[in-house]
């Protein structure tokens, strides 16, 4: 767990640097940092860079183990004839981060990475998971669209043993400690921070949440850039909200309509008595929000044919559970991480709640209204 937290802290530093460059109009086009995959979803220097450093750092920390990693990205674009400039940007980002690895209690490589080292590290993340054995699951930048827009995103790392998620770490660089900031776009937050700098130490700068199965606790610490300044005793426990009345509850959902049916979730919200406007948030930050009690409900119902990937959920699931929450598919069954890179057998959608009462009502509402949906 401690190694995983340190690795995610380091990875978040790389992400923050890349995101800052994207938000500078003069440098964004020059950096060539954003590209499109075949499915038109964005991928950035940060996605490949984080995958490379997490791959190398985990292998370096656990040299006596045959590290197996399931991760979102591959090296096809970087290895192509058109990818030379992009690969060069990834190499620079990775070396800039790894040279500072000792600040996080980790080891730096003896030599700077070359292009072939980057490609090798990314290719090492080629596991396909399954029901047996031990493997890591990584989403290097969960919520890449939010990332390129200067909004919420997460670095998500989990460990799975024999099909069960045993630990999860969520790095949320744009998720300050104060709940109120979730209601504002991050560009506004950064502007206001410059006008009136927060006075609460480093807690406004982002956070890292983590938990392991069976401990009955989830923890949060501030995002830092020098682990020597972080006292682990200052990490604090997070718990889900105690709100059980739907009238007082808040639900969150994905921002993009392509990822969920806003109309269906709006109907569900109305049928169970939810009155507050939904909070639309990019990435697994939604899971972090439930775990620390900022919201009570997360609902996602993808359109027919879409398959959920394990890296989009693994880290958040164990954190919510250990913080006291409930997360299942829409049929009330646990999410199954034992069947490869997809959440096979998922019943209609995913429902996460702060407690069993709200969860029971949402599941019942889905059963009552599903046949009239267009999903």
DSSP annotation string for 99-129: TTGGGGT-PPPSS---HHHHHHHHHT-B---
Do 207 and 270 lie in one domain? The reply is no
Provide the pLDDT for residue 28: 44
- Return the residue matching tokens 């209601």: 183
Q: What 3-state DSSP class applies to 27?
A: helix
Distance CA 250, CA 8 (A): 29
Give the Cα separation of 224 and 230 in Å (integer).
Answer: 7
CA distance 293 to 347: 26
Mode of pairing for the β-strands spanning 34-36 and 42-44: antiparallel
On whether both 266 and 218 belong to a single domain, the answer is no
The pLDDT of residue 31 is 46
Residues 91 and 277: their CA atoms lie apart, in Å, by 43
Beta partners for 69? 136
- Residue 161 and residue 168: Cα distance in Å, rounded? 12
**Higher per-residue confidence, 373 vs 293:** 293
- Claim: this prediction has a pTM higher than 0.85: yes
Report how far residue 22's alpha carbon sits from residue 18's, in angstroms, rounded to the nearest whole number. Answer: 6
Q: Is the pLDDT of residue 183 over 60?
A: no
pLDDT in tens, 195-230: 555 454 444 578 999 999 999 999 999 888 776 666
If asked whether residues 155 and 299 sit together in one domain, one would say no
- Which of 195, 216, 238 delimits the end of a domain? 238
226 and 271 in a single domain? The answer is: no
Domain count, the chain: 2
> Do 84 and 161 have their domain in common?
yes
Q: Residue 372: what pLDDT?
A: 72
Domain with 281, as residue range(s), is: 246-372
Note the pLDDT of residue 12.
Answer: 96
Binding residue ranges for Mg(2+):
72, 139, 142, 312
pLDDT more than 70, % of the chain: 85
Query: Are 103 and 157 contained in the same domain?
Result: yes
CATH code of 102's domain: 3.30.540.10
Predicted local confidence at residue 221, as pLDDT:
92
Show which residues are catalytic: 47, 144
Please give the mean pLDDT across all residues of the chain. 88
Cβ proximity of 159 and 4 under 8 Å? yes
Q: Does residue 51 share a domain with residue 71?
A: yes
Strand, coil or helix: 209: strand
């Amino acid at each position: 767990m401690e190694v995983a937290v340190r690795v995610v802290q380091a990875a978040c530093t790389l992400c923050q640097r890349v995101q800052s460059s994207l938000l500078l109009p003069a440098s964004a086009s020059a950096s060539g940092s954003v590209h499109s995959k075949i499915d038109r979803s964005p991928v950035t220097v940060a996605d490949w860079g984080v995958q490379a450093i997490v791959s190398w750092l985990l292998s370096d920390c656990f040299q006596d183990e045959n590290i197996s990693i399931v991760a979102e990205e591959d090296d096809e674009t970087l290895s192509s004839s058109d990818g030379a400039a992009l690969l060069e940007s990834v190499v620079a980002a990775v070396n800039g981060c790894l040279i500072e690895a000792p600040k996080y209690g980790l080891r730096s490589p003896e030599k700077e990475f070359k292009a072939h080292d980057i490609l090798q590290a990314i290719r090492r993340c080629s596991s396909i998971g399954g029901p047996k054995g031990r493997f890591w699951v990584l989403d290097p930048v969960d919520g890449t669209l939010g990332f390129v827009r200067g909004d919420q995103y997460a670095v998500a790392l989990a460990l799975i043993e024999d099909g069960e998620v045993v630990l999860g770490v969520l790095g949320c660089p744009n998720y300050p400690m104060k709940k109120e900031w979730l209601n504002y776009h991050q560009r506004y937050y950064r502007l206001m921070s410059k006008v009136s700098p927060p006075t609460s130490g480093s807690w406004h700068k982002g956070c890292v949440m983590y938990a392991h199965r069976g401990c009955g606790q989830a923890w949060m610490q501030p995002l830092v850039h020098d682990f020597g300044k972080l006292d682990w005793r200052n990490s604090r426990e997070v718990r889900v909200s105690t709100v059980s009345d739907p009238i007082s509850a808040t639900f969150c959902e994905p921002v993009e309509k392509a990822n969920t049916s806003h109309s269906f979730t709006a109907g569900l919200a109305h049928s169970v008595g939810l009155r507050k406007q939904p909070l639309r948030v990019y990435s697994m930050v939604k899971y972090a929000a439930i775990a620390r009690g900022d919201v009570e409900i997360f609902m996602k119902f993808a359109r027919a044919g879409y398959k959920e990937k394990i890296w989009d959920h693994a880290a958040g699931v164990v954190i919510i559970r250990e913080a006291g929450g409930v997360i299942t598919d829409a049929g009330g069954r646990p999410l199954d991480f034992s069947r490869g890179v997809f959440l096979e057998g998922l019943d209609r959608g995913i429902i996460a709640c702060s407690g069993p009462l709200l969860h029971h009502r949402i599941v019942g509402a889905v059963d009552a209204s599903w046949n009239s949906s267009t999903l």
